[in-house]
Amino acid sequence: MVRIIWQNRILSLILFIVLIIFFSCQSDKKLLNNPSSQKPETEFVNNLMERMTLEEKIGQLNLYTAGGDVTGPTMNGNYIAKVKAGRVGAVFNALSVSFNKELQRMAVEETRLGIPLLFGYDVIHGYRTIFPIPLAESCSWNLELMEKTAALAAEEAASAGINWTFSPMLDISRDPRWGRVAEGSGEDPFLCSMIARTRVKGYQGEDPESPQTILACVKHFAAYGAPVAGRDYATVDMSERMFRDVYLPPYQAAIEAGASTVMTAFNEFDGVPATANSYLLDSILRKEWGFDGFVVTDFNSIKELNNHGFSENDEMAAILSLNAGVDMDMQSDIYAANLMNLVKSNRIEEKKIDEAVRRILIMKYRLGLFRDPYLYLDEEREKATIYSNKILNHALASALESIVLLRNENYGGGKILPLSKGIKNLAIIGPMGKNKLDMLGCWHAAGDERKVTNLFEGIQEQVSQLNILYSLGCDFEGEDISGFSHAVKTAQQADVVILAMGENDAQNGEAASRSQIGFPGVQSRLIAEIRKTGKPTVLLVMAGRPIILNDEEQQIPAIINTWHLGTQGGRAIAQVLFGDYNPSGKLTMTIPRNEGQIPVFYSQKNTGRPYNPKDRFTTKYLDIPNEPLFPFGFGLSYTQFDYSSLQLSDSIISPQEELVVKVMVRNSGKISGEEVVQLYVRDLVGSVTRPIKELKGFRKILLEPGEIRWVSFTLKSDDLRFYNREMKFVAEPGAFMVYAGTNSAECLSAKFNLIP
């Protein structure tokens, strides 16, 4: 009898313990998914972390790719099992609400603590609706337009279950051989910094818990846009001064705008790979700038520390990256495979893991995912948002403002552009003529080429009575010229010829550096053959980078740089060709005469022997001019803008005073048009040498025919600061030149002095 009583007591005790464990787990999940609104994020996350095992913590540090897209060299087929085991913090390339909802269900309902996943994707210039590539859109110089583009891209992506984009890319680049210039905003740190703030604000909005906004990710930190020889992933080597003056400002601007995450670069900086560089990730990013978000690597880059020769094995790579400040490992599996043993063997402190986990969980909290893990997962919202008219209309507006008119000479008694809608026969020749896929450009996310309006269709819509002839002529690659004869015959039958030339979507972007950046394949040869027909010809440059146009600029009377404009590209180009929209874009990257001028940028220094055509022993080339083919800030219009009367409010200012710069701009043409008025400054003498011009302001204005407007800028001493000889960020007293004009090469000038 006593034995039975004791057995019953033991069974009761076991049952009691099981019930405690069960209800404790359910309580944990309830707490996670329904946190008290009174609890601040830190208290909530600390409470959660007290319940987490070391294995669960390490799980939050891993980001794996799903199969929705291919954005890197490897795929982890076991990622679903890892999600169910609570060993994944985020998933990328997982597309659509239905797919992501199931992954989130696994994370929330099948793991002990039910911590929700983040869903990331390369929403670089749109999700389904594809906007112009970022380099193209930067040529609009319209910050409001760019912010709206980012906001609408976020809205569309968020509707499909994405809550994190690996954008904006803020890498300054002065080398168009580098394929990823397509993803950036050009060569100038001032303009790129303005765009950085704008895009972060667009993606993240005012309310982080809104299901229409997503987390931004600043990339690639840092100086990824300056690889040796323009070759992607190559070494970066520069002075600290160059780094801080030119390459660092856009990243800092994005952090100041509230960017939530940062991605490490593939390159090294000062001999240390960025993924293990504590100077970048801790000293600058966190201590100097106060960044409180989390840091994620680029694809597999912890593993690649071994290739750099910076770590001898995966364990060392994990130690170096975590200690440097990397919170989340994208795809390499190094953290998942090594951190547990490294903690147990006392080679990594668990508190370093805690710091990384805390930063990641706080971002999930700020997104509202602990309140509602399915916040972004609404099928009805997805259906209503994807390719909505609101988004498509803005894609057209963005494409229109991104187009840059490079050349428009007289032909047959007048300018060749805009084309008359009265012409009867128009020939479209070239590989971009009926092309849909390559209109989208590189990194076109989940864009559907079937939704694209190509050039042929755009013109057909614009001028319905027009007889449009078409010939492919040649492809983007290879030496096949068998299509030339048909192309020439097509041109001969036309009143006007449109040459649709450029790059396909794989000839720029990541891993797409080119040593020669003219038109690939035999396109230049085809252009020369068409010119022999003597027909009025317009060349469309449809590419993801500046293209060498030295020969074409001498042969073709009208050249338009359309870039890759996305889903609505064909409609935008057609409106510009026929004058329904007056082009207003201005280059944000200099276009060189040939590759020998690279790196090429407007803000060069004067040197001790500045160019003098009468003196052999000055800085110059023997075979070409120093000047590029088209300078930074260049772009024509169908009207004419005249600049006059540059005025300064004073010739001397103190550090506490402001200088007002005014210039008169007149539309002397016959149609209305937009002009980007640009302001540049030069510090004539400094404790270290300064560039011959630096952009310090711009205004985009609309002027009616004959309208005159005074355009004003305000300069403060803060606008004149730079890193002096002691690497202090100061404005030095002395003489300055100020320039205002239509581009960096054509400006009015005046002089002023900053006194102590």
| Number of neighbouring beta carbons within 10 Å of residue 752 | 18
Question: How many whole angstroms separate alpha carbon 204 and alpha carbon 150?
Answer: 9
Q: Which residue reads 């095992």 in tokens?
A: 53
Question: How many whole angstroms separate alpha carbon 311 and alpha carbon 334?
Answer: 12
| DSSP result, 152-208 | HHHHHHHHTT--EE---B------TTSGGGGGS--S-HHHHHHHHHHHHHHHH-S-T
Instruction: Answer positive or negative: Cα dihedral of 54, 60, 62, 66.
Output: positive
Q: 644: which strand partners?
A: 664
Task: Give me the pLDDT at residue 69, please.
Answer: 84
Task: Give me the pLDDT at residue 749, please.
Answer: 98
Q: Which residue reads 């303009």 in tokens?
A: 191
Task: Give me the pLDDT at residue 169, please.
Answer: 98
Task: Give me the pLDDT at residue 36, please.
Answer: 43
Q: 63: which strand partners?
A: 90, 330
Above 90 in pLDDT, residue 377?
yes
Inter-axis angle of helices 41-51 and 350-366, nearest 10: 130
H or E segment and range at residue 702: strand 694-703
> Taking residues 225-251, what's their average pLDDT?
98
> Taking residues 345-358, what's their average pLDDT?
98
What digits encode the pLDDT tens for the residues 677-690? Answer: 999 999 999 999 99
Question: How many whole angstroms separate alpha carbon 171 and alpha carbon 134?
Answer: 12
For 690, half-sphere exposure in the C-beta direction (CA atoms, 13 angstrom radius) is: 22
SS3 663: strand
Nearest residue to 260 via CA among 222, 326, 219, 204: 204
Above 50 in pLDDT, residue 611?
yes
Q: Running DSSP on this structure, what letter comes out for residue 283?
A: I
> What is the DSSP pairing of strand 537-542 with strand 496-502?
parallel
Spatial neighbors of 239 by CB under 8 A, at least 6 apart, are: none
Inter-axis angle of helices 523-531 and 484-492, nearest 10: 30
> Taking residues 594-598, what's their average pLDDT?
97
Q: Running DSSP on this structure, what letter comes out for residue 432?
A: T
Retrieve residue 456's tokens: 């042929």
What digits encode the pLDDT tens for the residues 729-744? Answer: 999 999 999 999 999 9
For residues 703-712, b (16+ Cβ closer than 10 Å) or e, as one string?
beeeeebebe
Cis peptide before 631 (omega within 30 of 0): no
Question: How many whole angstroms separate alpha carbon 697 and alpha carbon 662?
Answer: 12
Question: How many whole angstroms separate alpha carbon 408 and alpha carbon 417?
Answer: 6
Inter-axis angle of helices 350-366 and 314-324, nearest 10: 60
Share of the chain above pLDDT 70, in %: 94
For 205, half-sphere exposure in the C-beta direction (CA atoms, 13 angstrom radius) is: 19
Question: How many whole angstroms separate alpha carbon 33 and alpha carbon 108?
Answer: 9
Q: Which residues are catalytic, by number?
A: 298
What digits encode the pLDDT tens for the residues 320-336? Answer: 999 999 999 999 999 99
| Number of neighbouring beta carbons within 10 Å of residue 561 | 28
What digits encode the pLDDT tens for the residues 442-484? Answer: 999 999 999 999 999 999 999 989 999 999 999 999 999 999 9
> What is the DSSP pairing of strand 673-683 with strand 694-703?
antiparallel
For residues 332-346, b (16+ Cβ closer than 10 Å) or e, as one string?
bbbbbebbbebbeee
> Taking residues 133-140, what's their average pLDDT?
98
Backbone angles phi, psi at 737, to 5 degrees: -105, 140
What digits encode the pLDDT tens for the residues 44-54? Answer: 999 999 999 99
Question: How many whole angstroms separate alpha carbon 387 and alpha carbon 451?
Answer: 9
> Taking residues 705-726, what's their average pLDDT?
98
Question: How many whole angstroms separate alpha carbon 306 and alpha carbon 296?
Answer: 18
What digits encode the pLDDT tens for the residues 639-681? Answer: 999 999 999 999 999 999 999 999 999 999 999 999 999 999 9
* Domains of the chain, each with CATH number or no CATH: 1-120+349-387 (no CATH), 395-597 (3.40.50.1700), 641-754 (2.60.40.10)
Task: Give me the pLDDT at residue 320, please.
Answer: 98
Inter-residue contact 168 to 218 (CB < 8 Å): yes
AA letter at 573:
I
Instruction: Answer positive or negative: Cα dihedral of 307, 295, 367, 255.
Output: negative
* Phi/psi-derived region of residue 255, left when phi > 0, alpha when psi is between -120 and 50, beta in every other case: alpha
Nearest residue to 222 via CA among 272, 294, 257, 166: 272
Q: Running DSSP on this structure, what letter comes out for residue 32?
A: H
Nearest residue to 745 via CA among 594, 587, 551, 547: 587
Question: How many whole angstroms separate alpha carbon 713 and alpha carbon 249?
Answer: 21
Spatial neighbors of 586 by CB under 8 A, at least 6 apart, are: 139, 141, 404, 633, 634, 635, 676, 678, 743
Q: Reduce the secondary structure of 579-629 to three states and give it as a string.
A: CCCCCCCCCCCCECCCHHHCCCCCCCECCCCCCCCCCCCCCCCCCCCCCCC
Question: How many whole angstroms separate alpha carbon 301 and alpha carbon 742?
Answer: 43
AA letter at 731:
A
Task: Give me the pLDDT at residue 136, please.
Answer: 98
Average predicted confidence (pLDDT) for the chain: 94
What digits encode the pLDDT tens for the residues 505-536? Answer: 999 999 999 999 999 999 999 999 999 999 99
Task: Give me the pLDDT at residue 413, please.
Answer: 80
Inter-residue contact 258 to 213 (CB < 8 Å): no
Nearest residue to 369 via CA among 751, 698, 48, 638: 48
* Phi/psi-derived region of residue 59, left when phi > 0, alpha when psi is between -120 and 50, beta in every other case: alpha
Q: Give whole-number Cα distances, 433 to 337, 453, 458, 541, in Å.
A: 50, 11, 10, 11
Q: 649: which strand partners?
A: none
For residues 713-727, b (16+ Cβ closer than 10 Å) or e, as one string?
bebebebbebbeeee
Cis peptide before 168 (omega within 30 of 0): yes
For 133, half-sphere exposure in the C-beta direction (CA atoms, 13 angstrom radius) is: 30
> Taking residues 369-388, what's their average pLDDT?
98
